[in-house]
Amino acid sequence: MKTIFSNKQLGHRDHHELYNGELVPGFETHARSEFILSSLKRADLGQVLEPETHDLETARQIHVPDYLEFLSKAWDMWERDGRSGTALPYAWPSRGLRGRVRPTSLDGLLGYYSFDASTGFVRGTWEAVKASHDTVLTGADIVSAGNPAAFALCRPPGHHAGPDFAGGYCFINNAAVAAQRLRNSGADRVTVLDIDYHHGNGTQEIFYERDDVQVVNLHADPSYEYPFYIGAAEEKGAGPGLGFTVNYPMPAGTEWSAWSQALEHALGEVRSFSPERLVVSLGVDTFEGDPISRFKLRKEHFRQTGALIAQMGLPTLFVMEGGYAVEAVGENVLAVLQGFESA
């Protein structure tokens, strides 16, 4: 299996986030990618390719253009203001009339284009975000060219980013961009299967009223877990998209027996949709040792997950999302990909 990755993605580093009432080093660290690459190379999984450089045309089909422009300029604006550290928001628009007017100040814009204080900018952020975007488009093109599977080692991740907002360490929604690219390349139907511990709220919002991209999420129940507010089983899409969003919220402490049952049911929903391409938002923060998650999957379960996905028989693009037990993340990702290949 070909893996796509750029060292530019390591430039988003030494950033901080607000967590449990403290400003702490970001859990989404560059070391995650380094551990994953090391595991893949030791196992000789396949080639590691540099991504092709792409423009933002596909991303503009997913994200509001002024949001993308802000992402590219946020750090420069922060530096021109004479600031250091991590560029983070401290105020956000809420319900009601507030938030309908786009502010002009940097602090206003940081809140306007985000929904949390975990997704800040440092000097190398935009270059890393753009390289992550290029990585997923290169992966989508590899699958469109007839390869059975590819792994886009995206970092920063993407599934929490919505049409005009960042959050959950995510800036551009890589999985959504990949799905759109696959559609543009001739696939009539594409499924995004999100197996990250946290609900892929951005992906759901982007495709909620569309019938050409199915979004299936297995995740922690938002009544107790980030990103809260979205991801209930009752959310099934709207308008033309009604029935093409499927959610499987699960309680804290969920073990393999219950999680795998949900996955089997989810794959049944995918079969009913009959997609021509599959995008897997691959989060391994369902791992029992993850520091910010509360599911109980083990390494052997990730291998079984890959095998179950392979049984779909679909051209598949794996897109890296979460997983914050840094020293275990490489082996867990490798287990999924080896399980897929061996099946």
Q: Are strands 48-49 and 2-4 parallel, antiparallel or unpaired?
A: parallel
Residue 159 falls in the annotated catalytic set: no
Amino acid at 302: F
Task: Kindly state the greatest CA–CA separation across the chain.
Answer: 55
> Rounded distance, CA 20 to CA 226, Å?
12
Across-strand partners of 215?
A: 192, 245
Q: Which residues contact 191 (CB under 8 A, 6 or more apart)?
A: 213, 214, 215, 216, 270, 273, 275, 277, 278, 279, 314
Residue 206 backbone dihedrals phi, psi, to 5 degrees = -60, -40
Region of residue 304 (phi > 0: left; psi between -120 and 50: alpha; otherwise: beta): alpha
Give me the catalytic one of 15, 160, 199, 301: 160
Q: Give the residue ranges of DSSP H helices in the chain.
A: 31-42, 57-62, 65-80, 106-112, 125-144, 174-184, 201-207, 256-273, 299-310, 326-342
Across-strand partners of 194?
A: 217, 281
> Rounded distance, CA 287 to CA 290, Å?
5
- Of the candidates 99, 104, 186, 194, the one whose C-alpha atom is nearest the C-alpha of residue 140 is 186
- Of the candidates 88, 187, 192, 176, the one whose C-alpha atom is nearest the C-alpha of residue 132 is 176
> Rounded distance, CA 5 to CA 134, Å?
9
Distance of CA 105 to the CA centre of its chain: 29
The catalytic residues are 160
